[in-house]
Structure 1
């Protein structure tokens, strides 16, 4: 079977014969086109979905890496903070040593009669000179740095002990037997409370009393029970206005609750010299002086020192 298609043109009538084979091919093409289109569309959609999966996986990997990096950063910050805290603690200890060295040096200079302008311990020493910075390029590890700090702290402690010994020698030579602690810290008055356990006057509960109380008239003299160097004058919790005197060999006397002080830090005082006026400052119920004696930083009972006779 065949079809003849007539077409008129300027050259006349032309005929186009369509055979059965052509018709079959056209029908097959028409039927196959939707199927091919569907298959190609499916494959394209599948490929696009695969790309989307790859992108999502990559994003998840990035998130995981960022999380790990953040955890590492936090860990590094925590380690750095611990090292900084340790460093600050060591620096605080070293600063305390330096302050004690300055105080001891100032006391020795005062006792020895050295010009304060010549040895001024309140300002850093004058230093200078050229330095070869190229020789300092080597990096110091954390361990080496902390070892240097330990060594410097040890040196400061050693110097502090040496200076304390020197202070004792100077005091021995300067004030001699007057360093012998004896007698009462007042010229007039009476003992109003003993050393040891007592009933607290504020709470009414049993409490430890680390000194002796001597009551009297407000403004009456408070005197040093031995010669020494004034190491502290000022307000301190519980004591009110406090005067503290170092007598060498680890002995220190304290005079608390004063109305006013008549000495200053670094001053050398003689035995029996007035150091304050009796008052009612701090944790106190009336005019009196709270008297303490410390040996190597520990409070001891002052009573036997109050009752013993002075050396001649």
Structure 2
């Protein structure tokens, strides 16, 4: 079998036998087959490396490490959330105490509860302004700032409470009022005729007459510095009110307090009698300031200044 080859350039034809092309085809097929085999051998180590068992173990180890890191992050996040919950609960408790303290201060100071209502947030407002870019601060920093504000408010309330407490104490120790609940003034402060001798004599207090056994009360809070018999006074109660003030209640029938007792304004300290140098049931009332007797009338008729 023969093949005729025609040249497109010169128009010539050549006759070639098929058997002459067999070696050429063999060489061509062998070359292609060898190239394919060499390519396969070249690529097979790479594929083997990709699916190597060591590589699989490495990837599994990485996945386990990442899973452990995710679990660690989850636990840490839960701990932080729980810590924030506890912190918020503490701040809420402190705010509750501050509200209670504020309500107490309102009551002590006799302020208008409508003006100082600690159960509602304070009223705020202002004209509308241009919006600016806002970046939310860290949540923990917000809590710390809130805690600092609470500390400042708590300190201010403590100072206010202390001032109001001092004012209340001053009001309690402020000498004012009558030493009896019932009775009348039978003798004034100053010169008078002595009821026993009839001679002109100095009277360092005022006398209130009344029914024997009636109540004698303290005109201010203080500490009992005398509770017993004294010459001329009979049974005597003496109270120190601080700030230089001392009051005396004499001629008592019965003393109801003891030395060192703390009494408050209006407490019953003794019962009216006629012990000592006395002509009948009454209480001799004296007011001393810095150790000197003063006219009790100006303290009997005055009212609390607070």
TM-score under structure 1 normalisation? 0.44
Structure of greater Rg: 2
